[in-house]
Structure 1
Amino acid sequence: MQDRRLLLGVAYRMLGSVADAEDAVQEGYARWYALSASDREAIDSPIAWLVTVVSRICLDVLGSARRRRERYVGEWLPEPVPASFAAGGDPAELAAHDEEVGYALLLVLETMTPAERVVFVLHDAFGYPFADIAAIVGRSAGACRQMASSARRRVREGRRREVDPADHARVVAAFQDAWRKGDPDSLLPLLDPAVAAVADGGGRVTAPTAPVLGAADVAALLVGVYTRVPDLTVEVADVNGRAGLVAKDGAGAVTAVIAVATAGDRVRHLWVMRNPDKLTAWQ
């Protein structure tokens, strides 16, 4: 189970999707068991072999992801995960207070090339040496070192605006309370003037297909949600290791998971996951 958790952690960081990560790990194990018994016995470190194979599978998936997303309806967002998964503890506590799967980081990873993403995840998150990574991505160790440095710089830039987790949680709680009141005048003081709300409905459910920008428009969007769904409940929850929000309908089913970025005493970004295919871990 520990090996499977490690592999899922690697694959989720690379792909930003629990379902795709599970598929990659399953394929990795299938290739392991396809080896002859003698071939398996000749492998000094089965987990290192599996990490290499799963990483190559992820590299292939990332290479085709851009083409798939060209056909995606609306905005594509990484799949958020709770602090732990309920179904038998599997596929494990991928996001349990782990800044390496913070939602803001996943968004930065989305801006990298597939090779950069694989190099950064394997080296910076899991400590794999560049010589081993080079064989996975088909580059020299020196090139991998340069890619990791470039990726690290982007991650640092993305993290400069992150606030203390306690301050962040306080703002999210105040925002939740104001949203429940369904009053724009209560929401506006908690929204950065340049706030952006990005929703991922995947064409499966109603969601804006373009970012909603500005405090007034975002407040109107949020108030409109409560107007259309009067029995909606919104709770503060751990979303990828930081305070976020979970919305449920009258029957208690999760209809949205919201990752939040704050600045000072205000919300500056909302990433709203509405695609039900990406909410299975929350149900």
Structure 2
Amino acid sequence: MIATVYVDESYGDTSRLLVGGLLSSWHKWLGFTLAWNSLLDRAEVPYAHYLEMDRNKGPYADRTVWNRGRKSAFLQVQYDLMRDWCQMGLTVSIDTQLYNDVYRANFPKGHSPDSAYGIASKELIVNAQRHANEYFSDVESLNFVWERGHQNLPNVQQIFFEMKDSLGDKAKSLGNFIPLSRTEAVALQLIDQLAVAARRTESQAKKKKLFADVPQGADLATVEGLLAPSETFPIFYHELTEERLLWHREHKVEMNQLIRQARRNR
């Protein structure tokens, strides 16, 4: 099985970041692309983008056409396509203040820290591998797609290839890192919606203290009040805790040392 994860993020405010990913096999994504383009044709818009629609910008500027009812119906079809064609969803949440206090502060000299976005993306890559191997027994290659031109793309790309270089055989299922535009890969338009929805439901759940007893990596379907995926479409929630951020700091230093050693041995 050759699978691909499409990745995007959502910022609630300056102190919180959520990175989300959608995973499916290549033939599932092919079917999704046909269904998604059909949806756009019926809606008479060139692309889907949550914030533009929410704020009546771009192709959604006509408020008489893109009223609340039309928006809700359009989003519902997007959710339906997500459940029909996607095999797995993942989200990783990070508190940027905790990142600064725990990870970035007193970072070992001679090593460059990753950005908060980079760490959240690395956590997503690690857990996408883990959950894919748990759910599917035949994952040969797991590719990752980020939006081309994204300001954090260089850091994430560096992290991805550092993982491949340092982990060796353990990273054999890591496929390719593929930058694409939202028109080249329409699934990036869908993950935009998942990231926004997951960040909003996470915020609501935290206010209701629904996450109090949720273990790391829990399927969001088991948490009352959160996204409600189908039985065949689990969404896994992860939050970067203090313990996990310390692990990332140690792992970054270890990877740098392994990479430097490998380069000296060449």
Normalising to structure 2: TM-score of the pair?
A: 0.25
**Structure with higher RCO (Cα < 8 A, 6+ apart):** 2
Bigger Rg, which one: 1
